[in-house]
Structure 1
Amino acid sequence: MKFLFWGWFGVFLLLNSSDASTGDRSTHFRNCMRRCEFERCENGGSDFAAREIQPVHLWLMQWTCTDECKYDCMWRTVDAYNKRNYKTPQFYGKWPFIRIFGVQEPASVLFSLFNFYANLQGILNFRKTVRPDAPMFWFWHFFCIVSLNGWFWSTVFHARDFPNTEFMDYSCAFSMVLMSCYCMIMRFMKDFPRFLKIAVTVFFIAFYANHVTYLKLGKFDYLYNMQVNILVGTFTAIFWFAWAIYNRFRLPYVWKIAAFVSVACVSTLLEVLDYPPLFYILDCHALWHLSTVPLVYLFYSFITDDCVFLRKEQAERLDVEKVKKHN
């Protein structure tokens, strides 16, 4: 689930981002690229020479001739490194992956879809238990919509890495971080006047719009995006955990959010373990995506229990008010 722990993950994200890496800087790769583009490509690398027919699934996934050359030369370079017992190199800031049906990072795509499904199943189970008139009922629906959108773009980005899909992945991931923080604050402000809630809502919308506009209009600022994610994610995690400790005796189910925050933070260690993908398919980032799937169910279990409690508390308060009114 890309929200509370996304801020912690951001620090490692920057470390793995690079415009160039050992593999694509190597003489072997560059010579291979020059030869491949000269022999196979036309129109500046966007089209194949007339004699070469591209498979339909690769055409659908928008693999250009230059992209094909990069992919083929990447594996030629990896083979050359392995024959010399050199470490597997990265290319353009990423490890080499075997594509499947044109998908660049199949494991991350699959596990992003797992997270999408977990959120969808989580909200459906939530609706079976929680009544629509319960406090926070619709807030968590909005949260789910934002999460589904975020995991959709995570799937698209890992399937094909383009500047636009990268922007959508990063901006939608941040929307999950921010939405998590917003829903937490709304939970804490459940008894506050409506105008204050509206003011906070306007602030969050403006903050997100400003953040996304800045990233889109200028050169994508990875450092700024990382810092904002860390700030918001850490703030959310600390306050959820402190709230859980404060209410541990009054609300027995709060252990779920405390466990969620704790495990989510620990799971980011997978981002530190930056190793070549197992079988050139399964890397640490994909495993991090996989580790978030059970956390989704834990989080929805928590918000379900919390909304049931809030509904019961609300009903009891109304009953007390009715008794006072009759007396």
Structure 2
Amino acid sequence: MIYTFFILILLISIVNYSLCSVGDRSPYFQNCLKNCRSSNCTEDGKYFANYEQPLILFVTQWSCADECRYQCMWKTVEGFHERNWQTPQFNGKWPFIRFLGLQEPASVIFSVLNAYVHLKMLKKFRRNVRPDSPLSWLWHAFCIVSLHAWFWSAVFHARDFPMTELLDYVCAFSIILMSCYVMLIRLLRNKVPRFVVVVLTTFFIAFFANHAAYLSMGSIDYGYNMELNILIGTFTAICWFGWCVYNRIRQPYVWKCAVFVALTGVVMLLEVIDRPPIFYIFDSHSLWHLSTAPLVILLYSFAIDDCKYLRKKEVEDIASKKEP
């Protein structure tokens, strides 16, 4: 059932992607862009010929060609609306009102919010969990990977360049892969020899490096990347959910993990919704970023309870071995 749900998301996303970019393909936009560049830009399109650019746009690296694309985008949107046509997309994205040079201000703010919540919950984790507790290191590693990914998410949504796009996709995949790694290490704890954990860790690092290298070769293979993320995410969700059901009596706190997995699947429906942004600021993708922030609190709450449980079991096992 869960697997079917994610496959549905994949298919709808592919259809949406194939129908996008009507705006930048329109003759109106292309003519506007050509006239704007010839009238205002240097030959390479980087600089303005007769215009002093605001400092904030210079800092956020808006070239003259970028400025022309932005202005022509809104003229094209206005032209579409005058003909009672739907709001078009441009290069696979809806039109957004920029703020302080940020292309998608809502997604930037909500990406930073996610990073902030991770950082706050890590501090809470450290206050409540002893440093020598089992798997404490694992959740620290997870937090570091997540903070790195949300940083590049904010950068990408601030300014969409080929390099920032690549880093966003690679780092988003790192969270998916790290979540799978955390799940396997937790479920296999004390069930496999230590060298198996070392081999598993090496495999995950090599797999991530290989995927990152593949995405960096020419244009990003969006379809393959999406399919791989859904496959790993589905596998992780199924394993976590099954483990929670199996341990629901012995470890009552696992409901937090089960609810986290379920709600993560529910909020992914926002990624399926492909509608023009509300006030040209809040699109479904930015709202998805917003919805993931409170789920982080639930996940770390589970992590705190689980590490406390593991430490308690470890202390009990040591004490039982000392008894005559």
- Mapping of 1:141-180 within 5 angstroms? 141-180=140-179
- The answer to whether 1:23 aligns with 2:23 is yes
Contact 2:20 2:93 survives alignment (8 Å):
no
1:113, 1:319 → 2: CA distance?
Answer: 45
Aligned match of 1:135: 134
AA in 1 matched with 2:305: D
**Deviation by residue 1:115-151 (Cα, 9 ceiling, x = unmatched):** 0000001111000000011111001100000000000
Question: What CA distance in whole angstroms lies between the structure 1 residues aligned with 2:114 and 2:30?
Answer: 38
TM-score, length-scaled by structure 2: 0.95
Task: Identify if the C-alpha distance between structure 1 residues 307 and 229 changes in structure 2 by more than 3 Å, giving closer, same or farther.
Answer: same
Q: Secondary structure at the match of 1:220?
A: coil
What is the CA-CA distance between 1:20 and the residue it aligns to?
6.5
CA RMSD, Structure 1 to Structure 2 (Å): 1.8
1:251 equivalent in structure 2: 251
Cα deviation for residue 14 of structure 1 reads 4.4
Deviates more, 1:143-152 or 1:15-24: 15-24
Instruction: Kindly indicate whether the alpha-carbon contact (under 8 Å) linking 1:116 and 1:152 is maintained by their aligned counterparts in 2.
Output: yes
- Specify the SS of the correspondent of 1:243: helix
The equivalent residue for 2:52 is 53
Where structure 2 has 5 or more consecutive residues not aligned to the other structure, the ranges are none
Q: Deviations over 1:237-291 (max 9, x none)?
A: 0000000000111110011011001011011111111110011001111111101
Contact kept, 8 Å, 1:6 with 1:177, in 2: the verdict is no
CA distance in 2, matches of 1:15, 1:290: 24
Is 1:181 equivalent to 2:180 in the alignment?
Answer: yes
**2:320 corresponds to:** 320
2:131 maps to amino acid: P
What fraction of aligned residue pairs are identical, expressed as a percent? 55
- Note closer, same or farther for the CA distance 1:16–1:7 as it changes in structure 2 (3 Å cut): same
Alignment TM-score, normalising by the size of structure 1: 0.94
Are the counterparts in 2 of residues 256 and 299 from structure 1 also a CA contact under 8 Å? yes
Q: Check conservation: 2:6, 2:234, Cα contact below 8 A.
A: no
Unaligned runs of 5+ in 1: none
Q: Which structure exhibits the higher relative contact order, with contacts defined as CA atoms closer than 8 Å and separated by 6 or more residues?
A: 1
CA shift, 1:16, in A, is: 4.6
- Partners of 1:58 and 1:101 within 8 A in 2: yes
Q: CA deviation at 1:8?
A: 8.6
Alpha carbons 1:13, 1:226 under 8 Å: kept: no
CA distances 1:10-34 after superposition (whole Å, capped 9, x unpaired): 6655445469711111111111111
User: 1:110 and 1:305, CA in 2 relative to 1: closer, same or farther beyond 3 A?
Assistant: same
Change in CA separation of 1:181 and 1:123 when aligned onto 2, cut-off 3 Å: same
Distance 1:7 1:285, change over 3 A: farther
Tell me if structure 1 keeps the 8 A contact 2:13–2:272: no
Q: Which residue of 1 aligns with 2:104?
A: 105
**Conserved? CA contact 1:109–1:154, under 8 Å:** yes
Which runs of structure 2 are paired with 1:1-327 in the superposition (5 Å)? Answer: 14-17=14-17, 21-49=21-49, 51-191=50-190, 192-323=192-323, 327=324
Write the letter of the residue equivalent to 1:271. E
Deviations 1:161-204 (A, max 9, x none): 00000000000000010011101111112113211110110111
Cα offsets for 1:29-55 (capped at 9, x unmatched): 111111100100003211110x21111
